[in-house]
Structure 1
Amino acid sequence: MSAPHGGAASPFKQPKAVWAVAFACVISFMGIGLVDPILPALAENLHASPSQVSLLFSSYLIVTAVAMLIVGWVSSRIGAKRTLVTGLTVIVVFAALAGTSGSINGIVGFRAGWGLGNALFIATSLAVIVASASGGFGGAIILYEAALGLGIAVGPLLGGELGAISWRGPFFGVAVLMAIALIATLAFVPALPKPERRTSPIAPLRALRHRGLLTMGVMALLYNWGFFTMLGYAPYPMKLNAHQLGLVFTGWGLLVAAFSVFFAPRLQGRYGTAPVLYANLLGLGAVMAVIAAGVGNPTVVIVAVIVSGAFIGINNTLTTQAVMLVSPVERPVASSAYGFLRFIGGGLAPYVAGKLADATDLSVPFYVGAGTFLLAIPVLAGGHRLLRRAEQDTGEGRPVTPTPTLTPVGAQAAATPPVVVAVGDHDRAAVIVDTAARLARDAGSPLEVVHVLQTAVVDEQAVDTEDFDQARAAVTAHLDRLSAQGISATGQILASVGDHAAAGRALARHAAEIHAPTVAVGRSPRGPLTQFADGSFTTALAHAADCTVVLVDPDHIPRPLTASALTELRNSPA
């Protein structure tokens, strides 16, 4: 998550390195959707059965799954940029080879190589964007989310247009676009420092010994089984050409992107992670059952597939957050272990679905897919207690998820209720703290500095911009500077996964517990659209706090956030 900032830096004022990787992300997110519209054409032109064509999903995803176990080990040795460049190079080579192939077996084999490149790329792309960003952490996440939405929505459309010309078109299209991204990455992305600690290649497998991570991973395996059964086989009963299939899956992609970025965090904040996932998996099971029952009616299949995009978008976001909440290991290790299980499920599903379809009829794989969605519900229930521990009730019957945590830093002398100031890892943090210190001094109160430890979950990736030691060092630096000025101050680290509004409400509860008379916060650089997506830290804080909330702008006189000021804040430019 992005912390409260003092300046309103535009997320689009980024260096060329960020734009280069963001462009590559768009092409990467096109991946599955780009190929889906040409599945019937592949079967017809290469004289292959649907089950044979489905293997291009299986080879791609199974290799991606296995590669996820070692990408952390690779990246920790050669660095994020080299890992990213290697992944892009592999994708370019094998996408082009798939386009030149004359047999379905050749495409299946080249898609396996493509899967290796995909694993190397997706494991490092978000981290590279964040590390290269100059427009703030929040701005980098906005760009990544924009790349996600654009890639998912445009991929099927482009695939349908290129596929209408030739089934080879989407493969060559990916190769050309990724080659452009590769050149831009080499030219503009600077060398990034290697991690201080190297990752063991068996760390992800060891991590699966933890019950919470294993439970969420198995749930993701079952979910992806149903998901890729639908992607692999739904195009056939639709009886559409490549262009028409592209339009259908564009509608599906728009719902995936919208519900992943905008609606999943709001549903989670209102009802909690587990309840939303239970309802969502039940909804996916129902949609798949409708496809199975209506497999002979193209209209039914088309509508059901488009509607499924809403459920898939919610599931992608919340499953990743659930994994990060219950996992006791480092995020990169947890991501690799989780990625291994979910991609294995996605890879095995098309192969098994093909065998079932050949032995019975086309409805059976969809019924099995519906069953795997429903089976994921009791699996998730097995980890419900672990997940619930990461959630908390506000006292108003409304869960706050994920639960942020506060960790004291330095001496905690609190005879007098302090003025609280919330800042993040950005260049104006010191100025905001110093401005809040003047407020505290004028009020005759000590100051408490709360540093917001930033974590973002976007679709199926999570990234931190700083580790806990860096956050502690930032708080200590504030305290040392204030002490030199003769100002009494204490420190806290507020850590949260994903939702900004949850962190704001957590700070409001903390302020109430310590009877703080005032909470000071800087202006967020995130615009109204992004704050709608995952909630506004400042707005949630102002609504939940019992004390005065002051917007600190070092260039203007600090002012309380009244109802009219909140409206102005929401409508102000990023």
Structure 2
Amino acid sequence: MSSQNHLHSPREGQSLLQQPRSVWAVFFACIIAFMGIGLVDPILPAIAKQLHASQSEVTLLFTSYNAVMAVAMLITGTVSSRLGIKRTLLAGIVIIAVFSALGGLSNGIWELIGLRGGWGFGNALFVATALTAIVSLSSSGTAQAIILYEAAIGLGISVGPLLGGELGAISWRGPFLGVAVLMAVAFVGLFVMMPNKQTSHAAKAKTSLLDPFRAMKHRSLLVFGITACLYNFGFFTLLAYAPFVMGLDEHGLGYVFLGWGVLLAITSVFTAPKFQQRFGTVTSMCIMLFLFALDLLAIGIWTSTQWVVIAAVIFAGALLGNNNTLITTAVMNAAPVERATASATYSFLRFLGGAVAPFMAGKLAEIYNPHVPFIVGAGFVLLSVLFVLANRTHVGHVDEAGAAH
């Protein structure tokens, strides 16, 4: 990777928790931004009922969000290199707040689907830039910074459904309006605590719109992006369709996805680095993805057995937490391109899978039965393992690159 990767090496020994205030401001804003992913989970059945929508129409709340986010990822580098990291993060937060508030005030499923797309645009600006910001501002090195970023994701994804369940029990509008309020708090925190100056020399160069596409010429980055796209078919089938087969109310769904998210947060911080040291990044990733495929298959086979589905959904959190940290670390070490560009390229490919999967899951269930979406999702995840193994020679270097820091 380019020389910027060695910026932090003298400080690698520092504690993960000894960070500048600006890092904690971005960390807090990340938690709130990622609440948005799981927040609507517990209220999907309620939205379907109250807005008289089919299951596949409701899953479009994930599809519009992820599709817009995927495409917008391609411009995040261009925007942040011109506006600066701080202003890009603040712009993303404002867009999320506005569209989530409008979503909470909407009265029809198609209106809500469109507004979720706007939310996805704000999230793209924020998420792609936040990873770069945390890595650049961190005082403990690249690997530790990525763990911190994944911890924020895990906390956001775990708290999101709990908040969604509690507010959603009052009204399905509650979670949308709640995010708008929290984003306003995050805006103030970032505005006050983050420095105005550019956070890395990488930000001084203007990034071209074509850079993410040029980055795909690096086979390793392309391999990880396609792998993430395939495994996200499983990830978003679980997120978008599992709430419909669990037979729980908003509170119950909130607690199940809280358990899922807590395991995701814990494993992304504490166990992923241990797997990485013991087995290497690529091998660990393949193990986690293979187990996730089996987990989805179990849900597909025992879809009508409530306790099996609940246990499998919660356990999936542990597998996904490990995998998310492993694959993010691998992407950051995969190719000699700027981190912001690598993140944009990878996120574009990853969220394409997240855009297709939810609607596909709803449609498969309507055409066939509720077992089919999970079995198909398991097939896609298994395909991601085979794809990584088939391209092992192109990605094996990520562990050597990581060791260099």
| Kept in 2: contact 1:132–1:189 (CA 8 A) | no
**How far apart, in 2, do the equivalents of 1:140 and 1:210 lie?**
24
Counterpart of 2:26 in structure 1 is 21
Q: What SS class does the counterpart of residue 205 from structure 2 fall into?
A: coil
1:371 pairs with one of 369, 379, 397: 379
Residues 287/212 of structure 1: CA separation in 2 closer, same or farther (3 Å cut): same
TM-score, normalised relative to structure 2: 0.91
Cα drift, residue 325 of structure 1: 3.2
> What amino acid maps onto 1:167 in structure 2?
W
Q: CA RMSD in A?
A: 2.4
**How far apart, in 2, do the equivalents of 1:108 and 1:203 lie?**
30
- 1:274-285 aligned within 5 A: 274-285=282-293
Residues 93/127 of structure 1: CA separation in 2 closer, same or farther (3 Å cut): same
Q: What SS class does the counterpart of residue 70 from structure 1 fall into?
A: helix
Counterpart of 2:171 in structure 1 is 166
Counterpart of 1:265 in structure 2 is 273
Does 2:207 match 1:202?
no
* Higher Cα Rg, which structure: 1
> What amino acid maps onto 2:325 in structure 1?
T
User: Cα deviation per residue 1:99-119 (whole Å; 9 max; x = unaligned)?
Assistant: 001111111100000000001
1:183 pairs with one of 183, 188, 211: 188
| Kept in 2: contact 1:95–1:175 (CA 8 A) | yes
- 1:36-435 aligned within 5 A: 36-129=41-134, 144=149, 146-193=151-198, 195-391=203-399, 404=403
Cα drift, residue 278 of structure 1: 2.0
**How far apart, in 2, do the equivalents of 1:276 and 1:10 lie?**
22
Residues 206/244 of structure 1: CA separation in 2 closer, same or farther (3 Å cut): same
| Kept in 2: contact 1:215–1:382 (CA 8 A) | no
Residues 6/347 of structure 1: CA separation in 2 closer, same or farther (3 Å cut): closer
Q: What SS class does the counterpart of residue 209 from structure 2 fall into?
A: coil
Residues 333/237 of structure 1: CA separation in 2 closer, same or farther (3 Å cut): same
> What amino acid maps onto 2:102 in structure 1?
L
Residues 366/86 of structure 1: CA separation in 2 closer, same or farther (3 Å cut): same
User: Cα deviation per residue 1:10-38 (whole Å; 9 max; x = unaligned)?
Assistant: 946743x4443332122112121211111
Residues 190/244 of structure 1: CA separation in 2 closer, same or farther (3 Å cut): same
**How far apart, in 2, do the equivalents of 1:360 and 1:144 lie?**
39
**How far apart, in 1, do the equivalents of 2:36 and 2:51 lie?**
21
More strand by share: 1
Structure 2 alignment gaps of length 5 or more: none
Q: What SS class does the counterpart of residue 121 from structure 1 fall into?
A: helix
| Kept in 1: contact 2:147–2:325 (CA 8 A) | no
> What amino acid maps onto 2:53 in structure 1?
A
User: Cα deviation per residue 1:289-325 (whole Å; 9 max; x = unaligned)?
Assistant: 1111111111111011001111111111112223233
**How far apart, in 1, do the equivalents of 2:289 and 2:86 lie?**
37
Residues 143/261 of structure 1: CA separation in 2 closer, same or farther (3 Å cut): closer
Counterpart of 1:31 in structure 2 is 36
User: Cα deviation per residue 1:488-530 (whole Å; 9 max; x = unaligned)?
Assistant: xxxxxxx32xxxxxxxxxxxxxxxxxxxxxxxxxxxxxxxxxx
Cα drift, residue 144 of structure 1: 4.5
> What amino acid maps onto 1:246 in structure 2?
G
Counterpart of 1:537 in structure 2 is none
Q: What SS class does the counterpart of residue 304 from structure 2 fall into?
A: coil
Cα drift, residue 145 of structure 1: 5.4
Residues 73/363 of structure 1: CA separation in 2 closer, same or farther (3 Å cut): same
| Kept in 1: contact 2:150–2:324 (CA 8 A) | no
More helix by share: 2
> What amino acid maps onto 1:98 in structure 2?
G
Identical residues among aligned pairs (%)? 52
Cα drift, residue 210 of structure 1: 2.4
**How far apart, in 1, do the equivalents of 2:150 and 2:327 lie?**
17
Residues 6/217 of structure 1: CA separation in 2 closer, same or farther (3 Å cut): closer
Alignment length, in residue pairs? 395
| Kept in 1: contact 2:146–2:325 (CA 8 A) | no
Deviates more, 1:295-304 or 1:122-131: 122-131
Cα drift, residue 336 of structure 1: 0.9
| Kept in 2: contact 1:326–1:386 (CA 8 A) | no
**How far apart, in 2, do the equivalents of 1:356 and 1:157 lie?**
28
**How far apart, in 1, do the equivalents of 2:71 and 2:16 lie?**
39
Counterpart of 1:457 in structure 2 is none
> What amino acid maps onto 1:73 in structure 2?
T
Residues 261/101 of structure 1: CA separation in 2 closer, same or farther (3 Å cut): same
**How far apart, in 2, do the equivalents of 1:340 and 1:73 lie?**
14
User: Cα deviation per residue 1:338-373 (whole Å; 9 max; x = unaligned)?
Assistant: 110000001111122222111111111111101001
Q: What SS class does the counterpart of residue 337 from structure 1 fall into?
A: helix
**How far apart, in 1, do the equivalents of 2:235 and 2:18 lie?**
33
**How far apart, in 1, do the equivalents of 2:81 and 2:367 lie?**
46
> What amino acid maps onto 2:60 in structure 1?
L
Residues 78/365 of structure 1: CA separation in 2 closer, same or farther (3 Å cut): same
Residues 58/45 of structure 1: CA separation in 2 closer, same or farther (3 Å cut): same
**How far apart, in 2, do the equivalents of 1:203 and 1:298 lie?**
47
Residues 19/285 of structure 1: CA separation in 2 closer, same or farther (3 Å cut): closer
User: Cα deviation per residue 1:212-242 (whole Å; 9 max; x = unaligned)?
Assistant: 2222211110000111011100011110010
| Kept in 1: contact 2:74–2:344 (CA 8 A) | yes
Deviates more, 1:25-34 or 1:371-380: 25-34
| Kept in 2: contact 1:258–1:313 (CA 8 A) | yes
Residues 28/329 of structure 1: CA separation in 2 closer, same or farther (3 Å cut): same
Residues 349/193 of structure 1: CA separation in 2 closer, same or farther (3 Å cut): same
**How far apart, in 1, do the equivalents of 2:218 and 2:16 lie?**
41
| Kept in 1: contact 2:129–2:340 (CA 8 A) | no
Residues 247/104 of structure 1: CA separation in 2 closer, same or farther (3 Å cut): same
**How far apart, in 2, do the equivalents of 1:324 and 1:94 lie?**
31
| Kept in 2: contact 1:72–1:199 (CA 8 A) | yes
Q: What SS class does the counterpart of residue 102 from structure 1 fall into?
A: coil
Q: What SS class does the counterpart of residue 54 from structure 1 fall into?
A: helix
